[in-house]
Amino acid sequence: MNNRTTTLLFATVFLAACGAGENTDTASELPVRHAAVGLAEIATAEALTGRCNEEEVLLRAHFATLEAYSGQPTLDGYYKSLDSLFSSLGTVTSTAQSLSGVHPDPDLRDAGETCAQLLTKVATDMSLSRPLYDAVRQLDLANADATTRHSVDKLLLSFRLAGVDKDDEARERIRELNDDIVAIGQEFSRNIRDDVRYLELDSADDLAGLPQDYVAAHGPNEDGKIMISTQYPDVFPFFEYADKDDLRKQMLLTYGQRGYPKNEEVLRNLIIARHELAQLIGFSNYAELVTADKMAGSAERVAMFINELKGYTGEVRDREYEMLLARLKKDVPEARQVESWQRSYVQSKVSREQYGVDSKVIREYFSYNNTRAGIFNMVQDLFGVRIVPWDTDTWHEDVESYSLYDGDTELGRFYLDMHPREGKFQHAAMFPFVNGIKGQQLPVAGLICNFPKGDEPIQFSQVVTFLHEFGHLIHWQFAGHQEWSNVSGIATEWDFVEAPSQMLQEWVWDYETVAQFAENADGEILPQELHEAMVAERDFGLGIGTRRQLSYAALSLSMYNRDPAEINFDTLSADIAREFTRFEPLDGTHGWASFGHLNGYSAIYYTYQWSLAIATDMFTHFKEGGLRNVEVAGVYRDKVLAAGGSRPAEDLVTDFLGRDISFKPYADRLRGTGGQ
Ligand SMILES: [Zn+2]
């Protein structure tokens, strides 16, 4: 999942923290209204803006009615009304924000962004509303079921973490700081996005080692120069394949300067504003505030977790590093260490030479069409569901639409917008449209990816990405049937939300699953020996890679768990790189200036590793029961996916496993003793 979507989701989920079912409210005169926006109604920028402004007026009026209410609040009256307000706000904001990332019309994309900003202000005002908070605190929960109690508790916590219980002056400052943080964060991200730099090459000889299609796509310009940009599709193959060592070094120097020096002051302002916000709300620093509603629960627990994983990865990292150094010495006998610009290049050589895994051969067996069919079949068989076409409006002719059924019951709907297009979001993510609510509305989401079309070959890593994102999609569909919106859908803890997707990725390492769809143009199935080689190669680099991930997690935490005045960005990030990795930071680079997650994820980059540890633990049940065991899958669907946010994630996983969560399976895998 991409951080932009995650941020949106959680903004919606945190603030949109209630939820109600049908319009059966008899307890009061308070309105119950679930806004729905069809794509056909907002097909132009003007229509979207008009509809958005109308909605803002309706939402603010509903909000004002609730703030003015002086009767005794009840679950059937007040809470249902408040929930429908949060739900409406979430639906309209999500739809506008999602369209801003995918719509072919640039004006409509801008209108979607503006609409999302307008409605986010309503959400902020609600999160700081003392009348709403006081009313929810007065609810009588004596006869409430466990899910409703959890929903109310969660809402009260999100109010407190927003600072609702502070005095008027503090709340006003909190509001200002929130606005500042959004604006500064956008500037930080924009400085990274807009800072595209180029390495200038004199001739095609400088592309030696790169794949033929890459060379063909990078012809000389009118001055006879070949320009290699710092964008991912340009830069990553260059690090992996370019034979000329000095050019890889220059490329890394160029790449490592993105966002610098502009982001030095911007980042400083961002962490200062967040530090002040956290202290106003009653925490010693921002890392404490942002972890308070996560599974980990505190910054100290996060630091312990990072340290624990560091302990599991020392030996395997050193072993892998020695393999890289030995391979490098074959070409450069005098080499004494592997430099940061050599890591990817040498690692890729070892993969090809020692494991016989060549990504150019593997990709011949995978296309968008066969992968989609394979994933649909796998999900249908495993979870006993059907995926059928859904006849509806979309935003572009490439977009496909489907419904998910269990027997005759429709569970949800989704869009697949899977191919690149100008102006479209460039990564892979699930975009939310409608958060499902029991008896009220079906969940709707879109998968947004950028894969080649039809029967063209796609990279194996794209197959993995497809499956990962599909994991978010089915979680959204199965979970979107709770009664209250703040516990429906994937309204679970942020450090758990990746786990179902990370676990679903495991199926690509199962030959029986892959052999059902991986077929080349001549109709030949991916050979089992090749798949076995891929499995053997899979964990090569896990020690080095996990240590890099941990260094990012440590940097993310360290930016926010202390007084910002103490931090020297270059020194801190170099110290952390040396603590976790064997690669010396390249002089002149400032990687922190382009580490975009410092905005969206702030202190909690650790969440990826935390989720992965839980995913690995949950997968042990499938390893024992069989990957096509529909009983295990059924229990998993009910207890983990469909439960959504109705209980803390730890309870869901414990219930599924029949025991406490253990990080041991992940530790074993990291130490190379767990097998796959
Ligand atoms: Zn994800």
**Same domain, residue pair 160 and 200:** no
Between the CA of 495 and the centroid of ligand 1 the distance, in Å, is: 11
Between the CA of 372 and the centroid of ligand 1 the distance, in Å, is: 18
**Same domain, residue pair 230 and 135:** no
pLDDT value at 3 more than 60 = no
**Same domain, residue pair 456 and 518:** yes
Between the CA of 267 and the centroid of ligand 1 the distance, in Å, is: 25
**Same domain, residue pair 11 and 145:** yes
Between the CA of 511 and the centroid of ligand 1 the distance, in Å, is: 23
Establish if 30 belongs to a structural domain. Answer: yes
Residue 300: partners with Cβ closer than 8 Å, 6 or more residues away: none
**Same domain, residue pair 387 and 530:** yes
Number of domains in the chain: 4
User: Band of the pLDDT at 672, cuts 50, 70, 90?
Assistant: confident
Between the CA of 54 and the centroid of ligand 1 the distance, in Å, is: 34
CA distance to 115, 214, 266, 647, per residue, from 426 (Å): 21, 19, 24, 34
Of 398 and 424, the structure prediction assigns the larger pLDDT to 398
- Taking every pair of Cα atoms in the chain, the longest distance, rounded to a whole number of angstroms, is 82
pLDDT tens-digit map of 262-281:
999 999 999 999 999 999 99
Question: 409-417 and 444-448: which strand pairing?
Answer: parallel
**Same domain, residue pair 517 and 375:** yes
Between the CA of 185 and the centroid of ligand 1 the distance, in Å, is: 21
CA distance to 412, 429, 450, 512, per residue, from 372 (Å): 18, 16, 14, 16
Look at residues 505, 536, 567 and tell me which one is the last residue of a structural domain.
536
Between the CA of 506 and the centroid of ligand 1 the distance, in Å, is: 14
Between the CA of 489 and the centroid of ligand 1 the distance, in Å, is: 15
pLDDT, residue 423, reads 87
| 400-406 β-sheet, strand order | 386-389, 400-406, 409-417, 444-448, 429-434
Left (φ > 0), alpha (ψ -120 to 50) or beta: where does 116 sit?
alpha
Between the CA of 462 and the centroid of ligand 1 the distance, in Å, is: 13
pLDDT, residue 30, reads 95
Between the CA of 480 and the centroid of ligand 1 the distance, in Å, is: 18
Between the CA of 369 and the centroid of ligand 1 the distance, in Å, is: 22
> At which residue do the structure tokens 């024992």 appear?
624
Rounded percentage of the chain residues whose pLDDT exceeds 90:
89
pLDDT, residue 27, reads 52
Give, rounded to a whole angstrom, the gap between the first and last alpha carbons of the chain.
24
Question: 400-406 and 409-417: which strand pairing?
Answer: antiparallel
pLDDT, residue 138, reads 97
pLDDT, residue 344, reads 95
Rounded percentage of the chain residues whose pLDDT exceeds 70:
95
CA distance to 103, 301, 556, 589, per residue, from 259 (Å): 27, 31, 17, 11
Between the CA of 20 and the centroid of ligand 1 the distance, in Å, is: 28
Between the CA of 3 and the centroid of ligand 1 the distance, in Å, is: 9
pLDDT, residue 674, reads 62
Between the CA of 614 and the centroid of ligand 1 the distance, in Å, is: 14
Between the CA of 145 and the centroid of ligand 1 the distance, in Å, is: 31
What's the rounded Cα separation, in Å, for the pair 335 and 374? 46
pLDDT tens-digit map of 67-78:
999 999 999 999
Between the CA of 559 and the centroid of ligand 1 the distance, in Å, is: 24
**Same domain, residue pair 440 and 499:** yes
Q: What radius of gyration, in Å, describes the C-alpha atoms of the chain?
A: 25
Mean pLDDT (whole number) for 225-244: 93
pLDDT value at 360 more than 50 = yes
At residue 58, the 3 state secondary structure works out as helix
Q: Tokens at residue 126, please?
A: 């609600």
Between the CA of 613 and the centroid of ligand 1 the distance, in Å, is: 14
CB 145 within 8 A of CB 137: no
User: Band of the pLDDT at 25, cuts 50, 70, 90?
Assistant: very low
Look at residues 536, 561, 591 and tell me which one is the last residue of a structural domain.
536
Q: What count of other Cβ atoms lies within 10 Å of the Cβ of residue 54?
A: 12
Q: What is the CATH number of the domain that holds 25?
A: 1.20.1050.40
pLDDT value at 22 more than 90 = no
Left (φ > 0), alpha (ψ -120 to 50) or beta: where does 541 sit?
left
Between the CA of 77 and the centroid of ligand 1 the distance, in Å, is: 37
Of 232 and 390, the structure prediction assigns the larger pLDDT to 390
Mean pLDDT (whole number) for 236-240: 93
Between the CA of 501 and the centroid of ligand 1 the distance, in Å, is: 6
Q: What is the CATH number of the domain that holds 501?
A: 3.40.390.10
pLDDT, residue 2, reads 41
Of 390 and 182, the structure prediction assigns the larger pLDDT to 390
pLDDT value at 24 more than 50 = no
pLDDT value at 117 more than 70 = yes
Establish if 583 belongs to a structural domain. Answer: no
Q: Tokens at residue 320, please?
A: 């892998």
Between the CA of 2 and the centroid of ligand 1 the distance, in Å, is: 7
CA atoms within 13 Å, Cβ hemisphere of 210: 24
DSSP assignment of 173-208, as one string?
A: HHHHHHHHHHHHHHHHHHHHHH---EEEESSGGGGT
Establish if 548 belongs to a structural domain. Answer: no
> At which residue do the structure tokens 């079921």 appear?
145
**Same domain, residue pair 619 and 517:** no
Between the CA of 173 and the centroid of ligand 1 the distance, in Å, is: 34
Between the CA of 468 and the centroid of ligand 1 the distance, in Å, is: 6
pLDDT value at 111 more than 70 = yes
* Cis check: omega of the bond before 261, within 30 degrees of 0: yes
pLDDT, residue 427, reads 87
**Same domain, residue pair 644 and 502:** no
Between the CA of 376 and the centroid of ligand 1 the distance, in Å, is: 18
- The parent domain of residue 77 ranges over 3-164
pLDDT tens-digit map of 603-661:
999 999 999 999 999 999 999 999 999 999 999 999 999 999 999 999 999 999 999 99
Between the CA of 558 and the centroid of ligand 1 the distance, in Å, is: 24
**Same domain, residue pair 7 and 138:** yes
Q: In 626-676, which ranges are continuous DSSP H helix? A: 630-636, 649-657, 664-671
Between the CA of 228 and the centroid of ligand 1 the distance, in Å, is: 29
User: Band of the pLDDT at 331, cuts 50, 70, 90?
Assistant: very high
Between the CA of 5 and the centroid of ligand 1 the distance, in Å, is: 10
Establish if 184 belongs to a structural domain. Answer: no
Establish if 317 belongs to a structural domain. Answer: no
Between the CA of 498 and the centroid of ligand 1 the distance, in Å, is: 5
Buried b (16+ CB within 10 A) or exposed e, 208-245: ebbeeebeeebeeeeeeebebbbeeebbebbbbbbebe
pLDDT tens-digit map of 453-493:
999 989 899 999 999 999 999 999 999 999 999 999 999 99
> At which residue do the structure tokens 């495993």 appear?
382
User: Band of the pLDDT at 232, cuts 50, 70, 90?
Assistant: confident
What's the rounded Cα separation, in Å, for the pair 425 and 428? 8
In terms of Cα–Cα distance, which of 347, 369, 351 is closest to 360?
Answer: 351
Between the CA of 593 and the centroid of ligand 1 the distance, in Å, is: 24
Between the CA of 585 and the centroid of ligand 1 the distance, in Å, is: 28
What's the rounded Cα separation, in Å, for the pair 605 and 594? 15
Establish if 592 belongs to a structural domain. Answer: no
Look at residues 230, 245, 260 and tell me which one is the last residue of a structural domain.
245
> At which residue do the structure tokens 């699953």 appear?
513
CB 657 within 8 A of CB 407: no
Between the CA of 291 and the centroid of ligand 1 the distance, in Å, is: 19
pLDDT, residue 470, reads 98
Establish if 356 belongs to a structural domain. Answer: no
User: Band of the pLDDT at 358, cuts 50, 70, 90?
Assistant: confident
Between the CA of 31 and the centroid of ligand 1 the distance, in Å, is: 36
What's the rounded Cα separation, in Å, for the pair 393 and 42? 11
Between the CA of 209 and the centroid of ligand 1 the distance, in Å, is: 32
Between the CA of 469 and the centroid of ligand 1 the distance, in Å, is: 6
**Same domain, residue pair 506 and 647:** no
Question: 226-229 and 198-201: which strand pairing?
Answer: antiparallel
Establish if 586 belongs to a structural domain. Answer: no
What's the rounded Cα separation, in Å, for the pair 435 and 22? 15
**Same domain, residue pair 117 and 222:** no
Between the CA of 432 and the centroid of ligand 1 the distance, in Å, is: 13
Between the CA of 615 and the centroid of ligand 1 the distance, in Å, is: 12
